Structure 1
Amino acid sequence: MNGPLARRRVLGAVAALGGAALLAPLEGVARAAESTGARWPTQFPLPNGFQPEGITIGKSPSACFGSIANGDIYRASLATGRGRVISQGGGAAHPVIGLKIDRRERLLFLSGGASREIRVADVRSGKLLKTFTVGSDSTFVNDVILTPGAAWFTDSFAPQIYRLPLDRHGEPGDAVTTVPLTGDWQQGPSFTANGIERTPDRSALLLVNAFAGGGGLMRVDPRTGVAGGVDIGDTKLPNGDGLLLLGRTLYVVQQQQNAIDVLRLNESGTRGTAIARITDPRFKIPTTAAAWGDRIYLPNARFDAEPTPDTTYDAVAVDQV
Structure 2
Amino acid sequence: MRRWKVSAVLVLGLVTTISAPAHAAADRHHPAPAAFPATIRLPDGFRPEGIATGPGPFAYFSSMADGSIYRADLRTGRGAIFTRGPGTPSLGMKIDSHGRLFVAGGTGGDARVVDVRTGRVLASYRLATGPAFVNDVILTQGAAWFTDSTNPVLYKLPLRDGRLPGAAVRIPLTGDLVYGAGFNANGITPTPDGRGLIVVQSNTGGLFRVDWSGATRRVNLHGESLPEGDGLLLRGRTLFAVQNRLNAVAVLRLNAAGTEGRVVRRVGDLRFDVPATVAAFGSRLYLPNARFDTPATSETWYNAVAIPDPERRP
2:40 maps to what in 1? 44
CA distance in 1, matches of 2:254, 2:309: 16
Contact 2:49 2:276 in 1 (8 A): yes
Give the aligned length.
Answer: 289
2:193 maps to what in 1? 201
Structure 2 residue 271 is matched with structure 1 residue 279: no
Q: Deviations over 1:107-131 (max 9, x none)?
A: 1111111111111112222122211
Among residues 201, 220, 225, which one is paired with 2:210 in the alignment?
A: 220
Aligned amino acid, residue 205 of structure 2: G
Among residues 76, 79, 86, which one is paired with 1:83 in the alignment?
A: 79
* SS of 1:233 mapped into structure 2: coil
Instruction: Give the gaps of 5 or more residues in structure 1.
Output: 6-28
Which residues in structure 2 correspond to 1:24-63 (within 5 Å)? 31-33=29-31, 36-63=32-59
* SS of 1:38 mapped into structure 2: helix
Structure 2 residue 94 is matched with structure 1 residue 100: yes
Which residues in structure 2 correspond to 1:112-127 (within 5 Å)? 112-127=105-120
Q: Deviations over 1:237-272 (max 9, x none)?
A: 120000000111100000010001110111111111
Question: Percent identity at matched positions?
Answer: 48
1:153 maps to what in 2? 146
CA distance in 2, matches of 1:142, 1:44: 23
Q: CA RMSD in A?
A: 1.5
CA distance in 2, matches of 1:30, 1:109: 28
Among residues 156, 162, 167, which one is paired with 1:175 in the alignment?
A: 167
CA distance in 1, matches of 2:59, 2:233: 15
CA distance in 1, matches of 2:90, 2:143: 19
Displacement of 1:60 in angstroms is 1.1
Contact 2:230 2:277 in 1 (8 A): yes
1:162 maps to what in 2? 155
CA distance in 1, matches of 2:125, 2:28: 32
Displacement of 1:102 in angstroms is 1.3
Structure 2 residue 62 is matched with structure 1 residue 69: no
Displacement of 1:4 in angstroms is 5.3
- Runs in 1 of length 4+ with deviation above 6 angstroms? none
Structure 2 residue 152 is matched with structure 1 residue 140: no
